[in-house]
Amino acid sequence: MPGAWLLADAKDPHRNGVLKTMTHILLRNRDIADIWQFDTYVANGGYDALKRAVNDLSPDEVIQIVSAANLRGRGGAGFPTGRKWSFIPKDAPVKYVTVNADESEPGTFKDRELLEKNPHQVIEGALIAAYAIQATAVYIYCRGEFWDLALALEERIEEARQANLAGEDILGSGWSCPVYVHLGAGAYICGEESALLNSVQGVLGQPRVRPPFPAQVGGGLYYAPTVVNNVETLANAPWIILNGADAYKAIGTPESPGPKIFCMSGHVERPGNYELPLGITFRELIYDQAGGIPNGKKLKGILPSGASGPVLRATEEVLDAPLTYESVAALGSTLGSASFILMDEDTDMVWAAAKMTHFFRHESCGKCTPCREGTYWLDTIYERILRGEGTARDLELLEKVPQQIMGLVLCALGDFACNPVLSTVRQFRDEYEQYIGLAEPVAAEA
Amino acid sequence: MNLVRGFVTTFKHVLEGPVTIQYPEQERPLRERFKGRHALKRYDNGLEKCIGCALCAAACPADAIWVEAAENTDEERYSPGERYAKTYEINMLRCIFCGYCEDACPTEAIVLEHEYRLSFSDRRDAIYVKAMLLDPLPPGVEGTPRRTEPGQFTRSIPVMENPK
Amino acid sequence: MTETITIIIDGQDYQVPRGMNLVDAAKMHGVDIPVFCHHPKLEPVGMCRMCLVELGSLAVNRETGQPERDENGQPVVRWFPKLQTACTQEASPGMAVRTDSAAVAQARYNVLEFLLTSHPLDCPICDKGGECPLQELTMAYGPGQSRFIYDDKMHLAKQIPLGDLICLDRERCIQCARCIRFCDEIVGDEVLAFHERGRRLQIITISDPPFDTKFSGNTTDICPVGALTTVDFRFGARPWELDEVASICPHCPVGCNISASTRLDRDFGGRKMIKRIMPRQNEAVNEIWICDKGRFGHHHSRSEERLTQPMIRRDEEWVPITWETAYREIAAQLARHGRESGFLAGASLSNEDLWELRKLARLTHADCSLGVWPATMGGIEQVTQVGVGVGTRLQDLGPDSAILVIASDLDEEAPIWWLQVKQAADRGAKVVAANGRATKLDQYATVALRYPYGEAVAALNSFAVIARRSNAIDEAFVAARAEGFAEFDASLKGARVPKPYAEAAQALLGAKDLVVFVGGEGVTLAQHGELMQAAANLLILTGHAGRANNGLIPVWPGANMQGALDMGFGPQATHDLIAQRPAMWIIAEADPVAEDARMAEVLVGAEFVALATQFMTPTAEKAHVLLPVQSFAEREGTFTNGLRRVQRFYMAQTPLEGTLPAWKVFAHISSSMPGGAKPRIAPGLVMRDITQHVLRYAEMSYPNLAHVEPQFPLVGGEDMYYGGTAYSNHGGLGVQWATNAEKEKYSLAVRPVDVARPRLDGLAVVPVRLLYDREPLFAPSSIMHQRVPAPYVELNVRDAEALGIAEGDAVMLTADDVQMAAEARVNSHAPAGTVLVPQRLGATPIPATLVECVVQKMEG
């Protein structure tokens, strides 16, 4: 219920007392045990939003409401969803909604819970988006490892179809929109929207040159205009339609309204998903909600958006900063998909950065030169440093090579790959220097 | 006075030994960097260093070198890489012994050695073919071509050194 | 032409066509934007990041709509914050580019350093070394030193055979995907693909047999590194040792411009030989592509089997004679037989050869027949009237064009035309592929029309009927130019048109441009004349004649059939000769005995047969005097292609000792005859004679033919972004002769055609042409042998069942006097009631078109 939610107040986002009493908008499975079942979902107001949209609202009105709510994309970039929908040309005969369920950012596991435990809300959200742009089909692109989930999801879609909520002539409106599940083959890059579209089309999962953008003719799925939205983004849509933009904007901060699922992992007492309004502080999230750092250790580093965002050193300034897209960016990182990987004082940051670099080398699609060669190069440097053979030249390269990648690549993966390297080299240089020292001859004790 | 000085100089030289030597009975010692007739080098294992790249021919200002390349196989291997010189000829009448070929060689296969006794009674004899240029095999080593194990030589050229 | 706009490159204003790719637009004005993945013939992908530039647009004042200016009066440019790939940009008004800034230089430096981290640096042995874009661009923009530790280099497999013609080196590959994109976008054969990802991303072939395309060699040209090399040339020479000699492919009527890369070679006795064949840019002919037959089919010119000595048959023994003796002998025989002499010219003779042969014939007797071989296609009258207009470029055919291909399997007969038609279809041109069987073009055709063999003329005629009925006739053109329209129009009335024909016709009508390719498959010579006329009727009726990109293109057999017809040789004369059985024959560069069962007997019956040939062919075995003539590679000359473009080829290879160019041989024989003139000393002078006597060749002097003009896109220049050093055309673009339709003074004849269908009983033979066969000019290229199938015939499943023949059975095909053994292929490719018999696969002649045959399973 909206009343139970923390109301936004940018000036004073510290409302610990209220936070504890909130219920869930997205993770409703936490409140209602078997909401994954169609009947339970419907009994709890499920698909009312879709019915309202299809029966009472025009597609433009739906876009208007979502725009007014300032729902920002939860996949990482935080792009306003309503605007994304409004880019779709109205006169295109074929249009698609593609749900990005290729949740492969390290430390992210929110979409999985949504699809597993509250799948109808995602389907409903996708159909609302489809209605808003008058799409001819919805594709839910699941990462390859979600095969079990994809099978279950197909059953859920069938339930919705049988209730005339998906498929032909939805709710007697004359608008038809089948929903399909597409299983990827397991590639991080397929979470990038244009690579995802390629993957759905059955071609190699590599990003496309933009423009044309997915919303434009020639840029989307099968080259038709396409909206690509994250699972969590779409799960917000039903609530917004039912409760209105103002109620939604009352949650969180004006620039970053609404609830957000924070995925907590790493050195944290209670790992897991936390649905909280945007605008709470790092400290509230980490210490009050997730129970702080185990064994009374100190927090050293925070990865606020999985492996792809820069590491933040856990200073007091950082801990007191609110979690909004803007404020995290101001700290020099990104909120991204809000997948927090916490690292305590005993963590070897060089090792951590090496792991992340290895991940990006493994996941680089190889299409464009700087990312393909650069991630390989960085990884070989880390391997050498971890072997204890690193030199000062290697440390210098770790600063220089990323600069040859950032901004010169086709998609964001190349930039992501540089973040852990640059941020750790800059903020934890002392640890690198300890490794570099290993190669130097040890001076004999005097 | 000047006359006397002149005679002094003359007598000084009369007393010095002759500059000329009696070649071929006598031979002048060669400097280490003397550039004489070319040799095509082998590795210690007897394989030829030359990979038939023809960069020597390209570098040659006198157009004295002629190279034709072919592909090694494991059944018939001449050099460690993919390619070897099927034909390698140097026309010694054209050669000006500048050593550019040596500089151009990426595998240090061609070296200008100390042999300088080159004389021919027939112009055709001045063309040194590969068999004449190749170094003799080290003792106890199999010659080329030879049969090698598959997978033993997989690089296209012998591995080069690290840039240091 | 497209609108011209102004863009700013490095502070300078340049005029470029709107929408042109920015890299090409800059290059047009001499500004280099280096690229690896981009190629002007392919869609941009922006992968290699080499072409990063600073991009911006002129700031426009919102209120006034005028460009904003700074205090110095210079236009204000709003720059993108990040560098952009130039290859993915299209020139648009107000676009501003900086290619010379420090950021751009740094970006190029970075990309090259990255590329070289994985590169094996084996340039000394790499076939591309010396003409390698990666080498060139590294020298121009790259680092002199690498910060990458050499030991960290990823080692990958080398020398991977990608099919039997192309070799892949995985270490050298820079993953630009040009090869994959060429196969997918241009050819449409999905044979290559990427495998794996990241640094392990690699090229694989996904077809079986591997790299199964007729255009595989082109990938080695556009490969910007030495990752793809041809097995044929492997380690053959270093590029700087090669002399590029302009030539023309001798294998098919497309007349692809090729460049023979030549060098002195021990393998050829220290003489100059062709080491490889590369495409030469001619945007009006082959653009920058050639097929694998043209690329790898050059070995005949230095084959060990070549004849190098004039010989005379004495007591069934070949006795060497001097050229002089041969000339005198032949001259004496010609004088003796006079009008009882027949002349037969093959389709690979040059125009100069043909002219001198014709002169010799005329000197012998004014009535001597000038036959052409093969004598399966006629229709020079129709080509003279409505052949495609001067300036035709198949690459200009697009959304408002229509193309009809009838009675031809273009893919096998003229691969580059097939490629261009396919690409036109991709661009939106309407393509009708009409034949008696399915061909590869069908999958790209708007309508794939199947007619029963024998009904080609009726099918094509019905197009005219439909054009008439749907008022698609260009009344003004018909009124002004057509002759005999009333009679023709009357013949169209009441004609019954089956629905498929009508649908196919509808697909063609209404297009701005119409090109009709007419082949000879399943058509007898008599029918072929009617088929050509039916095509001419359609073109004249719809006004698609007399301008560029409109008209008739005959798919001739051989490289210079057009030239032979232009020089007055003809197929009907050949049939007349066979019927008349003259006592004396002069045959040049043709092998009729191997192709026609009657010819052996005809020649055995003749008193004297002189044959100019390169090889000891079955025809040579029936001849009395053999004249060893030179291949296209050893001499100069001209071929006229199917678009009537006369093109020069130059001497690429040291001639084999003892051989002479055919024109010289004929000229010498002439000079040995009473009244014969002294031979010309050079083919250019022979061509001068031609220009003075053959009206349509009046403009074809050697200097005219050698004329070159800048062509777009710019490839093959000094910068070498696009690979293929031999692309530069210094040999000439050739000249097309104008048809009557292009000259107002001529009227164009339309006439009713004979649509009668021959009565076919039982199984009818349909000879088909294969690209890879065993014709004498191709057989010596042993690298291609695995692509040439054993002799086979194709039978329809139903016919095969009735005959008890199964796939793979050895069968004996009997027709008229022909008996040929072959393997049976049973499928639905051959229509019921027909047997498809590929030409020139075996040593025995195959039956003629549409004759009845019996196919029997051979026991044992």
DSSP for residue C510: T
The residue of chain C nearest to residue A360, with distances taken between CA atoms, is C198
- For residues A152-176, average pLDDT: 95
Q: How many CB atoms lie within 10 A of CB A118?
A: 22
End-to-end Cα distance, chain A: 72
CA distance A399 to chain C (A): 13
Q: Report chain B residues whose CB lies below 8 A from the CB of C241.
A: 54, 57-58
* 3-state secondary structure labels for all residues of chain A: CHHHCCECCCCCCCCHHHHCCCCCCCCHHHCCCCCCCHHHHHHCCCCHHHHHHHHHCCHHHHHHHHHHHCCECCCCCCCEHHHHHHCCCCCCCCCEEEEEECCCCCCCCHHHHHHHHCHHHHHHHHHHHHHHHCCCEEEEEECHHHHHHHHHHHHHHHHHHHCCCCECCHHHCCCCECEEEEECCCCHHHHCHHHHHHHHHCCCCCCCCCCCCCCCCCCCHHHCCEEEEEHHHHHHHHHHHHHHHHHHHCEECCCCECEEEEEEEECCCCCEEEEEECCCEHHHHHHHHCCCCHHHCCEEEEEEEEECCCCEECCHHHHCCECCHHHHHHCCCCCCCCEEEEEECCCCHHHHHHHHHHHHHHHCCCCCHHHHHHHHHHHHHHHHHHCCCCCHHHHHHHHHHHHHHCCCCCCCHHHHHHHHHHHHHHHCHHHHHHHHHCCCCCCCCC
For position C153, what pLDDT does the model report? Answer: 87
Q: Any bridge partners for residue C763, and if so which?
A: C853
Segment holding C794, helix H or strand E: strand C792-796
CA distance C660 to chain B (A): 29
Q: Do residues C256 and C270 lie in contact, with contact meaning Cβ atoms separated by under 8 Å?
A: no
A6-32 burial code (b ≥16 CB/10 A, e <16): bebeeeebbbeeebeebebbbbbbeeb
In angstroms, the Cα distances linking C80 to C83, C85, C95, C98 are 7, 11, 11, 11
Question: C720: which 2 tokens?
Answer: 């070498």
Q: Which residues of C touch A (CB under 8 A)?
A: 36, 44-50, 52, 82-83, 85, 88, 107, 110-111, 113-115, 117-118, 147-149, 152, 154, 174-175, 193-194, 196-201
Single out the residue of C623, C781, C664 nearest to residue C350, CA to CA: C664
Q: How far apart are CA C274 and CA C652, in angstroms?
A: 7
- CB proximity A364 to C under 8 Å: yes
For position A15, what pLDDT does the model report? Answer: 43
The residue of chain C nearest to residue A208, with distances taken between CA atoms, is C45
For position C860, what pLDDT does the model report? Answer: 65
Q: How far apart are CA C361 and CA C676, in angstroms?
A: 11
The residue of chain C nearest to residue A405, with distances taken between CA atoms, is C110
Q: How far apart are CA A313 and CA A202, in angstroms?
A: 42
In angstroms, the Cα distances linking C176 to A195, B81, C20, C622, C719 are 17, 26, 21, 55, 18
- CB proximity A151 to C under 8 Å: no
In angstroms, the Cα distances linking C191 to A43, C213, C220, C786 are 54, 7, 15, 18
Nearest to C125 among B53, B161, B162 (CB): B53
- CB proximity C308 to B under 8 Å: no
> What proportions of chain B, in percent to the nearest 5, are helix, strand and coil?
20, 20, 65
CATH numbers and ranges of domains, chain C: 4-110 (3.10.20.740), 118-230 (3.30.70.20), 311-377+561-722 (3.40.50.740), 380-554 (3.40.228.10), 763-857 (2.40.40.20)
For position A77, what pLDDT does the model report? Answer: 86
The residue of chain C nearest to residue B54, with distances taken between CA atoms, is C238
Q: Do residues A249 and A257 lie in contact, with contact meaning Cβ atoms separated by under 8 Å?
A: yes
Task: Name residues whose C-beta falls within 8 Å of residue A20's C-beta, 6 or more positions apart in sequence.
Answer: none
Do C150 and B163 count as a contact with CB atoms less than 8 A apart? yes
Q: How far apart are CA A91 and CA C592, in angstroms?
A: 64
Q: Do residues C155 and C171 lie in contact, with contact meaning Cβ atoms separated by under 8 Å?
A: yes
Confidence of residue A446 (pLDDT cuts 50, 70, 90): very low
For position C817, what pLDDT does the model report? Answer: 79
Do C85 and A209 count as a contact with CB atoms less than 8 A apart? yes
For position A441, what pLDDT does the model report? Answer: 61
Residues C574-594: pLDDT tens digits? 999 999 999 999 999 999 999
Do C174 and A397 count as a contact with CB atoms less than 8 A apart? no
Q: How far apart are CA C468 and CA C472, in angstroms?
A: 6
A212-225 burial code (b ≥16 CB/10 A, e <16): ebbbbeebbbebbb
Q: At what angle do helices C456-469 and C485-492 cross, to 10 degrees?
A: 100
Chains B and C touch (3+ CB pairs under 8 A): yes
Q: Does position A438 have pLDDT exceeding 80, yes or no? A: no
3-class SS of residue C258: strand
Q: Does position A12 have pLDDT exceeding 80, yes or no? A: no
Q: How far apart are CA A286 and CA A293, in angstroms?
A: 8
Q: Report chain A residues whose CB lies below 8 A from the CB of C198.
A: 361-366, 372, 375-376
What does the DSSP assignment read for C687-718? HHHHHHH-GGGTT--HHHHT-----SS--SSS
Question: B107: which 2 tokens?
Answer: 């595998």
Do B157 and C146 count as a contact with CB atoms less than 8 A apart? no
**How many contacts does A have with C, using Cβ atoms within 8 A?**
95
For position C317, what pLDDT does the model report? Answer: 94
Peptide bond into C845 cis (omega under 30): no
Segment holding C193, helix H or strand E: strand C192-195
For position A13, what pLDDT does the model report? Answer: 42
Task: Name residues whose C-beta falls within 8 Å of residue C782's C-beta, 6 or more positions apart in sequence.
Answer: C299
- Chains near A with 3+ CB pairs less than 8 A apart are C
Single out the residue of A419, A399, A403, A392 nearest to residue A308, CA to CA: A419
Q: Report chain C residues whose CB lies below 8 A from the CB of A393.
A: 147
What is the CA A235 to chain-centroid distance, rounded? 13
Which residues in chain C come in under a pLDDT of 50? none
Question: A251: which 2 tokens?
Answer: 């949650």
Residue of B68, B127, B162 to mutate for C, most C C-beta atoms under 10 A: B68
For position C714, what pLDDT does the model report? Answer: 87
For position C294, what pLDDT does the model report? Answer: 96
Chains C and A touch (3+ CB pairs under 8 A): yes
The residue of chain C nearest to residue A187, with distances taken between CA atoms, is C197
Q: How far apart are CA A108 and CA A74, in angstroms?
A: 12
Give the A window 192-211 contacts with C, CB below 8 Å. Answer: 204-205, 209
For position C1, what pLDDT does the model report? Answer: 56
| Sheet bearing C369-373, strands edge to edge | C317-320, C311-314, C625-628, C608-613, C584-588, C341-346, C369-373
Confidence of residue A21 (pLDDT cuts 50, 70, 90): very low
Q: Which of A304-308, A386-390, C690-694 has the highest mean pLDDT?
A: C690-694
Nearest to C46 among A204, A377, A410 (CB): A410
- CB proximity A163 to C under 8 Å: no
Do C201 and A407 count as a contact with CB atoms less than 8 A apart? no
Residue of C235, C263, C264 to mutate for B, most B C-beta atoms under 10 A: C235
Query: At which residue do the structure tokens 């989307």 appear?
Result: A220
Task: Name residues whose C-beta falls within 8 Å of residue A80's C-beta, 6 or more positions apart in sequence.
Answer: A67, A70, A71, A72, A73
Nearest to C125 among B57, B154, B157 (CB): B157
Q: Does position B162 have pLDDT exceeding 80, yes or no? A: no
CA distance C727 to chain A (A): 27
What is the CA C526 to chain-centroid distance, rounded? 26
Is B50-147 CATH 3.30.70.3270? yes
Residue of C113, C125, C146, C172 to mutate for B, most B C-beta atoms under 10 A: C125
3-class SS of residue C110: helix
Do C267 and B155 count as a contact with CB atoms less than 8 A apart? no
CATH numbers and ranges of domains, chain A: 26-249 (3.40.50.11540), 259-344 (3.10.20.600), 349-437 (1.20.1440.230)
**How many contacts does B have with C, using Cβ atoms within 8 A?**
65
Confidence of residue A5 (pLDDT cuts 50, 70, 90): very low
Q: How many CA atoms lie within 13 A of C390 on its CB side?
A: 15
For position A440, what pLDDT does the model report? Answer: 65
Confidence of residue B153 (pLDDT cuts 50, 70, 90): confident
The residue of chain C nearest to residue A374, with distances taken between CA atoms, is C114
Single out the residue of C464, C413, C436 nearest to residue C760, CA to CA: C436
Q: Report chain C residues whose CB lies below 8 A from the CB of B87.
A: 266
Task: Name residues whose C-beta falls within 8 Å of residue A243's C-beta, 6 or more positions apart in sequence.
Answer: A2
User: What is the ipTM metric for this complex?
Assistant: 0.91
Q: How many CB atoms lie within 10 A of CB C853?
A: 21
Q: What is the CA radius of gyration of chain C?
A: 29
- For residues A416-445, average pLDDT: 84
Sorted by where each begins, the domain ranges of chain B are: 50-147
Q: Do residues A67 and A146 lie in contact, with contact meaning Cβ atoms separated by under 8 Å?
A: no
What is the CA C810 to chain-centroid distance, rounded? 34
CA distance C62 to chain A (A): 23
For position A20, what pLDDT does the model report? Answer: 45
